[in-house]
Amino acid sequence: MIDVAFLGTAVRPAGTAVVIDVLRASSTITLALASGYERVLVAGSTDAAKALRAPGRTLAGEVGCARAPGFDLGNSPEETLEPRTAELVLATTNGAPAIVAAAADADEVLVASLLNVGAVCAQLAGREDVLLVCAGTDGRVSMEDVYLAGRISAELEGPRSDAARIAESLAAFYPDAIDALEASGGAIGLRREGLESDIAFCAQESIVEAVGRLTEMVDGAALITAAPVTASQTAASELNS
Amino acid sequence: MIDVAFLGTAVRPAGTAVVIDVLRASSTITLALASGYERVLVAGSTDAAKALRAPGRTLAGEVGCARAPGFDLGNSPEETLEPRTAELVLATTNGAPAIVAAAADADEVLVASLLNVGAVCAQLAGREDVLLVCAGTDGRVSMEDVYLAGRISAELEGPRSDAARIAESLAAFYPDAIDALEASGGAIGLRREGLESDIAFCAQESIVEAVGRLTEMVDGAALITAAPVTASQTAASELNS
């Protein structure tokens, strides 16, 4: 069954859970791994991230969309383009709890964004028990996350739940990703903080191949590394080259 | 704010909560009140409904879509067209808990179906804090409920949440209500029990004016009566006559 959880708190057991926080945690995790960070430690709060500060780690995180005080980076994906260390510690308020909840209920947890949507769909090819987990924002459903869930669901084969079809109808409603992101509640806080360029950045589709996958929990944080490239990814990549 | 809760378990505080269980509880409640039942007692289980059996009460309810053993009626709206008593006791697995949850968090609770969608929108005109509560099915999101939430949301003025826009996109995806209901997971059980005629019946729009409203909780059951007709309903009715 292809299913969608509209909120990170609505996770159910599944073979593969795909956590989605388009603006911006899952986009930042994806781009960090694609840019050369070897590991991303996703913490549930800025305090939890600070406790993980150590040599070889760069701290990224936000408070109300703006860079958290004392942190090396904010939560803009572009800030990860040039890795400073092997590890990135990322504090997020919505993405991290969703990943932790998914880890408790799913055999495998992947992280999806528009930036790697093609690679995510390649990873999911053939999987029959997929739960697309929309992180949401502070307990409210986020349109941009459900939009991406619908985009992914529409590419997968097999039976799907009503929730998956609802997400697919939203994806069909917005032919261009940027329109869904611009219309979302998640965009409001970014505009307020002068970070509207992040919206356009996160709306780019399949610009990288890296797909974050949960390896283990480390001191309460989710350790994400790049999943091995699948045969179907390799085939698609050769087809495109 | 116009908002949508995709599941009855996801209710939040609101001025007016509108409970939606298109297939079939909210359709049956609506038609029972329109047909002349003065009160509908909505119970959370068949056992709870049996405990409410008394002279002057007709028992209706389902187990796996079929009429519950020993009950006077099943949960098909059409069975309520000719009232047998002043009160109908209705046992539902998804609608009743949603009504009870909404009652705990909202100042006012209405019951909506496609059968009375026009009257519901008239009742809601001018209200600024509306939560459309989709009952769902056994903890899973139901497409037919989100479809109706989207139909109602699209008729209301004022700011709306991402969840409301997602529901509206689903409503826009299905120009005809019957197509949304036929495609829904909720239709599967009805077809299995030979009750597919209920799907077409529940897809009829604005055939009655009655709108059920929660009056009080009685012995653990939700007592629903017809809300007074609003001025805008009267105006619309005169316009149409």
> Residue A9's pLDDT is what?
82
Q: Which of A131, A169, A179 to mutate to test the interface with B (most CBs of B within 10 A)?
A: A169
> Residue B9's pLDDT is what?
82
Closest by Cβ to B185, choosing from A140, A162, A169: A162
> Residue A93's pLDDT is what?
83
- Asked whether the predicted pLDDT for residue B239 surpasses 90, the reply is no
A50: closest CA of chain B, how far (Å) = 32
- Asked whether the predicted pLDDT for residue A188 surpasses 60, the reply is yes
Nearest CA in chain B to A150: B166
CA–CA–CA angle A180, A168, A12 (5° rounding): 105
> Residue A8's pLDDT is what?
86
Q: Give the whole-angstrom CA distance, residue B51 versus residue A73.
A: 62
Nearest CA in chain A to B163: A141
Query: Across the interface, do A162 and B170 touch by the CB < 8 Å criterion?
Result: no
> Residue A139's pLDDT is what?
87
**A158: number of Cβ within 10 Å:** 11
- Asked whether the predicted pLDDT for residue B238 surpasses 80, the reply is no
Query: Across the interface, do A169 and B173 touch by the CB < 8 Å criterion?
Result: yes
Query: Across the interface, do B170 and A172 touch by the CB < 8 Å criterion?
Result: no
Q: Cis omega (within 30 of 0) on the bond before B24?
A: yes
Buried b (16+ CB within 10 A) or exposed e, A56-89: ebbbbbbeebebbeebbbbbbbbbbeeebbebbb
Closest by Cβ to B173, choosing from A6, A172, A184: A172
For residue B174 the two structure tokens come to: 């299905």
> Residue A236's pLDDT is what?
61
- Asked whether the predicted pLDDT for residue B240 surpasses 70, the reply is no
Q: Give the whole-angstrom CA distance, residue B136 versus residue B98.
A: 9
A57-63/A66-67 β-pairing: antiparallel
pLDDT class for A113, splitting at 50, 70, 90?
very high
> What residues of B are in contact with residue A163 (Cβ under 8 Å)?
6, 140-141
pLDDT class for B8, splitting at 50, 70, 90?
confident
Give the residue with greater pLDDT, B238 vs A92. Answer: A92
pLDDT tens digits, B18-52: 999 999 999 999 999 999 999 999 998 999 999 99
pTM for this one?
0.93
pLDDT class for A240, splitting at 50, 70, 90?
low
Q: Count of A–B CB contacts within 8 Å?
A: 64
For residue B81 the two structure tokens come to: 């067209």
pLDDT (average), residues B10-15? 91
> What residues of A are in contact with residue B163 (Cβ under 8 Å)?
6, 140-141
> Residue A208's pLDDT is what?
98
pLDDT tens digits, B91-119: 988 888 899 889 889 999 999 999 999 99
Q: Give the whole-angstrom CA distance, residue B98 versus residue A214.
A: 35
A106-112/A212-218 β-pairing: antiparallel
Give the residue with greater pLDDT, A240 vs B3. Answer: B3
Query: Across the interface, do B6 and A170 touch by the CB < 8 Å criterion?
Result: no
Phi, psi for residue A91 in degrees, rounded to 5 = -95, 120
The answer to whether A185 faces chain B, any CB pair under 8 Å, is yes
> Residue B230's pLDDT is what?
76
pLDDT (average), residues B133-159? 95
pLDDT tens digits, A132-179: 999 998 889 999 999 999 999 999 999 999 999 999 999 999 999 999
- Average pLDDT of chain A to the nearest whole number: 93
A63: closest CA of chain B, how far (Å) = 22
> Residue A220's pLDDT is what?
86
pLDDT class for A239, splitting at 50, 70, 90?
low
pLDDT > 70: percent of chain B: 95
The answer to whether B6 faces chain A, any CB pair under 8 Å, is yes
Query: Across the interface, do A166 and B141 touch by the CB < 8 Å criterion?
Result: yes
**A22: number of Cβ within 10 Å:** 31
pLDDT tens digits, B61-98: 988 888 999 999 999 999 999 999 999 999 988 888 89
> Residue B64's pLDDT is what?
83
pLDDT class for B241, splitting at 50, 70, 90?
low
Closest by Cβ to A141, choosing from B163, B169, B185: B163
> Residue A136's pLDDT is what?
93
> Residue B233's pLDDT is what?
67
- Average pLDDT of chain B to the nearest whole number: 93
pLDDT (average), residues B205-218? 96
Most confident of A8-17, A213-222, B114-123: B114-123
Closest by Cβ to B166, choosing from A10, A166, A186: A166
Q: Give the whole-angstrom CA distance, residue B182 versus residue B196.
A: 9
